[in-house]
Chains A and B, each alone.
Chain A
């Protein structure tokens, strides 16, 4: 089949003769009428014009490289913009005129901000925020602005592919959707007939919950896996202990006077990022609020705070308890609120807090006692317009649950819970599912799934199904479970999960995972270990409703709607899963997926959305035009516990004379408050649970049915299921010392993690505009630490990670062990005072081995684009390739490595699987690492 290229010189005449064959080869083309000079257009070019020299010069002078020309020193991994190939000519001033504007919702992180796509000539040419989105209010972060990189990425997957050769071998062939459906259908059918729980659907991030649950419930598997344990399990468990009603606090930052931030980086990355950050600034600049931050690292949030303190990692709880101590001992708490709404007398609380003095906390955290006391006083003075804010900084620790319990206590003591400007929440995450339900859903699947519901963890699945994502591959490795069909969806576990080798080895093992189909828009690390990869649409190509934790404290609903046709043959799960069900036939096809086009499904879902009939023909049309709906009559969810019970509620109820708890038919419905029957909190005590008998009993596997009945909301333990895993868990907030962090050796530091303002955890390094800003992530270490190791910025170190002794001792059955992790991580350091001396910080997001060349920080190879013959001025892409100036050509060789190059390093090489036994929270910020200078 070989031929000599030099012998091939077809003539133009010869080529014309091949015309018939050419046409015959593509008979699939559809014609519009007859061929001919069509519509008589003379202009064959793309609309628009180039900017004049004068226009270009004017725009350029206005930009002039500010603020980078002002001498600011960028952090490592960031570049001085514009890059070496600075843009000096701005094309087409008319480019953004006369566009069609299509609303949608971003999905490059979990905040799901409202967006508007500007569509022209059938393509999206710009994405910006949708001002009508009540949560994000027209603001959009850098990731969202890079939507075009996502949508039109040159390495998007456009077709289903099936591996050729061994799994992980990297050889593929394109297949048709029919072939893909047939094989998946056959495997799912076999799985369903034998053991439905062996079909595992594992999402990294899903905003199509209704569609996925519909399929899994109809199928009959409960093995629906996620990454909650790696994200926010401890924080949610702490909030649920206090409230039962909600796992998610939504501080009313816009109306507050004081924000006490424990390790949250709201200005850069948070589930509420853009919505929360703008309200914080609104509170500060329009309401005079003060922002005080405790963080082991100077994040952008910390750096932009009014005051910033760097505690030792994992000691947020100690600081919070010491503040609580000050509030109590100095009588700064809201005595009336505490007496009425906390389930424990203040005397008992005071006794519990007695040992947690500011001086003690200074010894633990290194934050000065005087500052702790002063800030506690300020917080109390601002109350009730005072709120805490926290996230993974305080909660992604082995003691994270108790850290967040202690932080919550501050709001409880000053009585800011549920108050305007205080610490609030909602009864629903974002949109009101009862008011705007999707179409009929099948009953929940029954049966057990040890992967989704591991029995070791006390609170992981007690209120909500939080699961423990980081344990999944370890369970499979330990042969505690097996998967026949593994469907991964928007998941990049080989990069983002702890102990990469465990993940990779399990993914490669066909005895542990029989068949792996990966659904993703890009060839990710996960895809590289799959048997089949299906091309997923982007969030600009699909339809659904969505919303996120609403900082207006009112539910709303937003929409995604295709802004353009999907590229290639990409499909959404809303099309893939129903088609699989229909092919499987039987009850799934007949009962749940017999009909309903996407359009019908969306129309049904939208039917309750009010709309202006003078403008639109249907609720769906209204949503597609407006992008979001928020009920103007809806009141913010302030002080819901004061909501009076109705006469109908009270009728036939009984009130406990001692506790004031009102029950009906044996179930709690409210509380007698100041002589009035009100709803109260949805906990067993109908009050804020400083003392949680429910938690203590659940940990001991004791019966809690009486408490569950009184709460009558969420919370149900299963002693039989957890038998053999009994723990003593404090019912009250305490400080839980992290064993590994005590008595560390001189060459050891505590490794912590963080996210940048331009990246999410593992799915944005492929975005050129974001990667250009942050592509390298050297380890942050303090000058004192650097001096101890003889390091300066740019020197390289080798890290060795340690598994947790405490985790191993708490859950010996997991066999996680407590020794060193075999893998080492080598990377350069950045010496900065912006990190605690006991800590070393390495960001997430980077160090990809797949996920496009951009994420890998490498240009195309020499063949092809760099071939001679190209006109570099006109044909090679200036921005995409020639300007990918950060490629590391040294292969991470410390001797020749140039700073601010390469694609970064993933700390997960040395991060142990480390779930806390309470909530299953991965202790991302606790790993003790040994440091060695690379000479």
Chain B
């Protein structure tokens, strides 16, 4: 679910799926309030919010590990994740999630979920080596008040739980050089 929310804007169909009672309740438990209506204006607003939160290239950029650890797309992390997917018999190619980078947080969470029960070594590798950057990355997105800010907060909490790390503070404090 998180991977989908991180990788795609909501459309009428996916929003309707979220509005199903069981899903909406589960998401509320994670701090995400699903909008109760689904008109075009709302979808437009959500798409714009999604763009600003998770997609626009400036102001931090999308939640992609290589951007955080190598400062560019296709860092070592991307290569490694592609290899992890291959080991698990999966492929993260251009047709997957509109060509999202393999080390996009959404792809990483999807890969974790796909492998945790069948190839736990891969899931462990994802959790250990490919998620520890994400919480600080999500700090900016979490600071907002909209739907996707709540998705960012829940995603950060999820990452924290998976990695066993502490959710970072969002004080803007500069770490020592």
B-binding residues in A (CB < 8 A): 1-5, 7-12, 15-16, 18-19, 21-26, 28-39, 41, 44-46, 121-123, 148-149, 152-159, 161, 164, 171-174, 522-523, 565-569, 768, 852-853, 860-870, 872, 875-877, 879-882
**A882 & B177 in contact (Cβ 8 Å cutoff):** yes
Say which residue of B48, B86, B166 sits within 8 Å of A38 (CB atoms).
B86
Query: B139 near A: Cβ within 8 Å?
Result: yes
Q: Which residues of B contact A523 (CB under 8 A)?
A: 56-58
* B127 and chain A: residue at smallest CB distance: A12
* A768 and chain B: residue at smallest CB distance: B71
**A35 & B89 in contact (Cβ 8 Å cutoff):** yes
Q: Is the interface of A mostly helix, strand, loop or mixed?
A: loop
**B94 & A31 in contact (Cβ 8 Å cutoff):** no
**A164 & B44 in contact (Cβ 8 Å cutoff):** yes
Q: How many Å from the CB of A858 to the closest CB on chain B?
A: 10
Identify which of residues 23-49 in chain B touch chain A, using a CB-to-CB cut-off of 8 Å: 23, 26, 30-35, 44-45, 47-48
| A-B CB proximity, top 6 nearest | A880-B71, A25-B4, A869-B168, A3-B31, A862-B172, A22-B113
Q: Which residues of B contact A15 (CB under 8 A)?
A: 158, 161-162
A-binding residues in B (CB < 8 A): 1-5, 7, 9, 23, 26, 30-35, 44-45, 47-48, 50-52, 55-61, 66-76, 78-80, 82-84, 86-101, 106, 109-110, 112-119, 121-122, 125, 132-133, 135-137, 139-140, 142-143, 145-147, 150, 153-154, 156-158, 161-162, 165-177
**B94 & A1 in contact (Cβ 8 Å cutoff):** no
**A22 & B90 in contact (Cβ 8 Å cutoff):** no
**A29 & B90 in contact (Cβ 8 Å cutoff):** yes
17 pairs of residues in contact across A and B, judged by CB atoms under 8 Å: A1-B33, A9-B157, A18-B1, A24-B4, A28-B95, A38-B86, A121-B79, A157-B57, A174-B47, A523-B57, A567-B74, A568-B101, A862-B174, A867-B136, A867-B171, A868-B175, A869-B136
**A3 & B1 in contact (Cβ 8 Å cutoff):** no
**A31 & B90 in contact (Cβ 8 Å cutoff):** yes
**A159 & B55 in contact (Cβ 8 Å cutoff):** yes
Q: How many Å from the CB of B20 to the closest CB on chain A?
A: 11
Q: Which residues of A contact B45 (CB under 8 A)?
A: 164
In the bound assembly, the distance between CA atoms of A26 and B8 in angstroms comes to 10
Residue in B44, B113, B132, B135 whose Cβ sees the most chain A Cβ within 10 Å: B113
Q: Which residues of A contact B116 (CB under 8 A)?
A: 16, 19
**A5 & B142 in contact (Cβ 8 Å cutoff):** yes
Known: A173-B50, A864-B140. A35 touches B157 (CB 8 A): no
**A30 & B96 in contact (Cβ 8 Å cutoff):** yes
In the bound assembly, the distance between CA atoms of A279 and B99 in angstroms comes to 44
Q: Which residues of B contact A154 (CB under 8 A)?
A: 57, 61, 67, 71-73
In the bound assembly, the distance between CA atoms of A152 and B32 in angstroms comes to 33
Q: How many Å from the CB of B136 to the closest CB on chain A?
A: 4
Q: How many Å from the CB of B111 to the closest CB on chain A?
A: 9
Q: How many Å from the CB of B42 to the closest CB on chain A?
A: 11
Q: How many Å from the CB of A880 to the closest CB on chain B?
A: 3
Known: A19-B117, A26-B110, A863-B143. A39 touches B86 (CB 8 A): yes
* B8 and chain A: residue at smallest CB distance: A25
* B156 and chain A: residue at smallest CB distance: A5
**A853 & B58 in contact (Cβ 8 Å cutoff):** yes
In the bound assembly, the distance between CA atoms of A158 and B61 in angstroms comes to 11
Q: How many Å from the CB of B48 to the closest CB on chain A?
A: 4
Residue in B31, B75, B84 whose Cβ sees the most chain A Cβ within 10 Å: B31
Q: Which residues of B contact A768 (CB under 8 A)?
A: 71
Q: How many Å from the CB of B10 to the closest CB on chain A?
A: 11
**B89 & A34 in contact (Cβ 8 Å cutoff):** yes
In the bound assembly, the distance between CA atoms of A566 and B171 in angstroms comes to 37
Q: Which residues of A contact B70 (CB under 8 A)?
A: 877, 880
**A18 & B60 in contact (Cβ 8 Å cutoff):** no
**A174 & B136 in contact (Cβ 8 Å cutoff):** no
**A875 & B33 in contact (Cβ 8 Å cutoff):** no
Q: Which residues of B contact A566 (CB under 8 A)?
A: 94, 99
List 13 extra interface pairs beyond A19-B116, A28-B95, A37-B87, CB under 8 A: A7-B31, A18-B1, A29-B92, A29-B110, A31-B90, A32-B91, A148-B72, A522-B57, A863-B140, A864-B136, A868-B173, A869-B166, A875-B132
**A37 & B119 in contact (Cβ 8 Å cutoff):** yes
**B7 & A868 in contact (Cβ 8 Å cutoff):** no
Say which residue of B78, B82, B89 sits within 8 Å of A32 (CB atoms).
B89
Q: Which residues of B contact A864 (CB under 8 A)?
A: 60, 136-137, 139-140
Q: Which residues of A contact B73 (CB under 8 A)?
A: 152-154, 156, 567
**B3 & A26 in contact (Cβ 8 Å cutoff):** yes
Q: Which residues of B contact A877 (CB under 8 A)?
A: 68-71
Say which residue of A33, A865, A870, A875 sits within 8 Å of B89 (CB atoms).
A33
Q: How many Å from the CB of B150 to the closest CB on chain A?
A: 5
* B45 and chain A: residue at smallest CB distance: A164
Q: Which residues of A contact B156 (CB under 8 A)?
A: 5
Say which residue of B50, B72, B109, B161 sits within 8 Å of A880 (CB atoms).
B72
In the bound assembly, the distance between CA atoms of A22 and B145 in angstroms comes to 24
In the bound assembly, the distance between CA atoms of A16 and B31 in angstroms comes to 18
In the bound assembly, the distance between CA atoms of A172 and B53 in angstroms comes to 11
Known: A10-B158, A568-B98, A864-B60. A153 touches B72 (CB 8 A): yes
**A3 & B153 in contact (Cβ 8 Å cutoff):** yes
**B68 & A875 in contact (Cβ 8 Å cutoff):** yes
Q: Which residues of B contact A174 (CB under 8 A)?
A: 9, 47, 50-51, 55
Say which residue of A10, A568, A869 sits within 8 Å of B99 (CB atoms).
A568
**A164 & B48 in contact (Cβ 8 Å cutoff):** yes
Q: How many Å from the CB of A710 to the closest CB on chain B?
A: 56
**B69 & A172 in contact (Cβ 8 Å cutoff):** no
In the bound assembly, the distance between CA atoms of A41 and B85 in angstroms comes to 12
In the bound assembly, the distance between CA atoms of A23 and B55 in angstroms comes to 22
Known: A44-B125, A860-B60. A31 touches B91 (CB 8 A): yes
Q: How many Å from the CB of A92 to the closest CB on chain B?
A: 9
* B96 and chain A: residue at smallest CB distance: A29
* A175 and chain B: residue at smallest CB distance: B47
Residue in A24, A39, A864 whose Cβ sees the most chain B Cβ within 10 Å: A864
Known: A159-B55, A172-B48, A174-B51. A8 touches B110 (CB 8 A): no
Q: Which residues of B contact A37 (CB under 8 A)?
A: 87, 119, 121
Say which residue of A2, A159, A880 sits within 8 Å of B33 (CB atoms).
A2
**B30 & A875 in contact (Cβ 8 Å cutoff):** no
Known: A10-B158, A37-B87. A159 touches B114 (CB 8 A): no
Q: How many Å from the CB of A28 to the closest CB on chain B?
A: 6
**B31 & A4 in contact (Cβ 8 Å cutoff):** yes
Q: How many Å from the CB of B81 to the closest CB on chain A?
A: 10
Q: Which residues of B contact A870 (CB under 8 A)?
A: 133, 136, 168, 175
* B142 and chain A: residue at smallest CB distance: A5
Q: Which residues of A contact B172 (CB under 8 A)?
A: 862-863, 866-867
* A39 and chain B: residue at smallest CB distance: B87
**A46 & B71 in contact (Cβ 8 Å cutoff):** no
Q: Which residues of B contact A26 (CB under 8 A)?
A: 3-4, 7, 96-97, 106, 110
**A1 & B84 in contact (Cβ 8 Å cutoff):** no
In the bound assembly, the distance between CA atoms of A876 and B80 in angstroms comes to 18
In the bound assembly, the distance between CA atoms of A768 and B71 in angstroms comes to 10
Q: How many Å from the CB of B25 to the closest CB on chain A?
A: 13
In the bound assembly, the distance between CA atoms of A42 and B169 in angstroms comes to 36
**A21 & B60 in contact (Cβ 8 Å cutoff):** no
Q: How many Å from the CB of B57 to the closest CB on chain A?
A: 4
Q: How many Å from the CB of B16 to the closest CB on chain A?
A: 14
Q: Which residues of A contact B69 (CB under 8 A)?
A: 875, 877
In the bound assembly, the distance between CA atoms of A866 and B68 in angstroms comes to 11
Q: Which residues of B contact A30 (CB under 8 A)?
A: 91, 93, 95-96
Q: Which residues of A contact B139 (CB under 8 A)?
A: 863-864, 867
Say which residue of B30, B59, B86 sits within 8 Å of A861 (CB atoms).
B59
Q: Which residues of B contact A171 (CB under 8 A)?
A: 48, 52
Q: Which residues of A contact B125 (CB under 8 A)?
A: 44
Say which residue of A123, A522, A865 sits within 8 Å of B68 (CB atoms).
A865
Say which residue of B114, B135, B142, B143 sits within 8 Å of A35 (CB atoms).
B114
In the bound assembly, the distance between CA atoms of A867 and B142 in angstroms comes to 12
